[in-house]
Amino acid sequence: MHDPNDPLSRAAVAACFDLARARIDDPDPPLGRTADAAALESALAGAICRRGLGVDAAMALVRDVVVTNAVALDGPRFVALIPAAPSLAAKAFDAVVGAHSFSPESWLESAGAVAAENQTLRVLADAAGMPEGAGGCFVSGGSAGNLAALAVARDTRGGVGSVVLVSETAHASIDRAAHLLGLTIRTVPADDRGRLVGAALDDGFGDDDGPAVCAVVASAGATNTGAIDDLVGIAERCAAHGAWMHVDAAYGGGALFAPSVRERFAGIERADSLVIDPHKWLFGTLDCGALLYKDPALALPTFRQRASYLDLLQAEGAWNPSDYAFHLTRRARGLPLWFSMVVHGLDAYADAVERVLELARNAAETVRAADHLDLLVEPELSVVVFERRGWTDDDYAGWARRLLADEIAFVVPTRWNGRVVARAVFLHPDTPDTLFDTIVESMR
Ligand SMILES: Cc1ncc(COP(=O)(O)O)c(C=O)c1O
């Protein structure tokens, strides 16, 4: 299994590189499909056996079962949920990361990878305007980042049982993080555009007799609508009450690189912690979430693992990513982003993000012009929420299934003000404007 001259291993390596290359080179991969569990169980039956099936049989399973039964998240026709759109350079470098098995949990083991990841984190911190000294690590995504940030908030500003103020539009992972951390969620109403405004927090802080508020979670790009909360107002309240300000920019953070909307993020620089998912709108590969703390030293008491076999790794002053979230061994998941940024430069990132914003603006215009549709929320970033006059919940579900089955687009409904409605999310700069025209026509 480890001999590079072994014919079986050589054939496996060649087949995998061919497959990866073909996918990387495909500008518009098939949308793919899902299958029922029983069909896949039977297709995979006996695949792992005593003597191995060999490369041809294994690759047939990869092609016919694994690859086919997946909806292509990274393709230009995936406009549901929150898509991904990794650059080709990032995808290719992801294979390099796998081949090297870097171990950037510690400086001692993978100093080069840690330094490159830290350079990337600094670029993100600069985009947000965070102070010198801000830092953190790459985690698997927004959920992991939100959990880690709230753990530090709890340990520095409160304790088990203390309160986290969140808007009703915050991502679902915040509620689960609070549950895991023994924190109490107190929900604060959002305004009619789905934004949490600073003044709405005043009641939420409550009086001095109740449990202390340890943190406020603000969204900079709420998942459902792309709304950006009133970050300045929230920062002011957090400062006044000594609460930790966590900004969840897992989806929206990519737009920090777009000059046309940058001012909407005013106040983000005051965050105590910030999450941006490069695997969403910064064209990184899955799974890659950036977690930044204004003062990373605060995370050590929460996360540093202590053991005699780690002593050497934790020599005075060593920067170890394992100190900044819950993990020890970790993949160098920030490196594909770093490589892609080095190759293309930040101007290319700004252009690509701006193109995505333009797609959303054009889509909103198309909705406004259509006599069968209503635009429900003016898109702040790249999410367009709209409805088809007269449709029932079942109409939306049937329409979404048809578009996927016909390989036109992957788009799923959501709910807005209690009603099932349509939602399109753009993240791929090469999505053609005509895709949304087709989607709109399919709703007649
Ligand atoms: C605003 C926001 N926060 C957190 C998350 C969770 O991110 P992940 O799926 O990477 O855990 C998402 C996912 O869409 C999101 O949109």
Global pTM exceeds 0.95 = yes
| 101-343 under CATH 3.40.640.10, yes or no | yes
> Measured from the CB, is residue 248 less than 6 Å from ligand 1?
yes
Choose which residue among 140, 143, 217, 268 to substitute to test ligand 1 binding: the one with the highest number of ligand atoms within 8 A of its C-beta: 143
Report the pLDDT value the prediction gives residue 32, as an integer from 0 to 100.
87
> Measured from the CB, is residue 289 less than 6 Å from ligand 1?
yes
Q: Which of 297, 304, 294 is nearest to 325 (CA)?
A: 304
> Measured from the CB, is residue 320 less than 6 Å from ligand 1?
no
Q: Which of 90, 19, 244 is nearest to 152 (CA)?
A: 244
Choose which residue among 224, 231, 277 to substitute to test ligand 1 binding: the one with the highest number of ligand atoms within 8 A of its C-beta: 277
Closest-CA residue, ligand 1 atom 2, reads 250
Tokens of 89: 């350079």
Question: Distance, CA 193 to ligand 1 centroid (Å)?
Answer: 20
Ligand 1 atom at minimum distance from 144 CA: 11
Report the pLDDT value the prediction gives residue 183, as an integer from 0 to 100.
98
> Measured from the CB, is residue 333 less than 6 Å from ligand 1?
no
Q: Are 95 and 336 in contact (CB under 8 A)?
A: no
* Per-domain boundaries in the chain: 101-343, 346-441
Cis, bond preceding 287 (omega within 30 deg of 0):
yes
> Measured from the CB, is residue 167 less than 6 Å from ligand 1?
no
> Measured from the CB, is residue 379 less than 6 Å from ligand 1?
no
pLDDT digits (tens, 9 = 90+) for 16-60: 999 999 999 999 999 988 889 999 999 999 999 999 999 999 999
Choose which residue among 79, 81, 82, 256 to substitute to test ligand 1 binding: the one with the highest number of ligand atoms within 8 A of its C-beta: 82
Domain 346-441 has what CATH class?
alpha beta
DSSP string, 326-354: S-SS---TTHHHHHHHHHH-HHHHHHHHH
Q: Which amino acid is at 23?
A: R
pLDDT digits (tens, 9 = 90+) for 276-335: 999 999 999 999 999 999 999 999 999 999 999 999 999 888 999 999 999 999 999 999
Question: Distance, CA 106 to ligand 1 centroid (Å)?
Answer: 26
Report the pLDDT value the prediction gives residue 61, as an integer from 0 to 100.
98
Choose which residue among 247, 248, 256 to substitute to test ligand 1 binding: the one with the highest number of ligand atoms within 8 A of its C-beta: 248
Question: Distance, CA 60 to ligand 1 centroid (Å)?
Answer: 33
Using 70 as the pLDDT threshold, list the residues of the chain that sit under it: 208
- Return the exposure string of 314-332: e unless at least 16 CB atoms fall within 10 Å of the residue's CB, then b: beeeeebbbbbbebeebbb
Instruction: Find the distance separating the first CA and the last CA of the chain, reported in whole Å.
Output: 57
Report the pLDDT value the prediction gives residue 254, as an integer from 0 to 100.
98
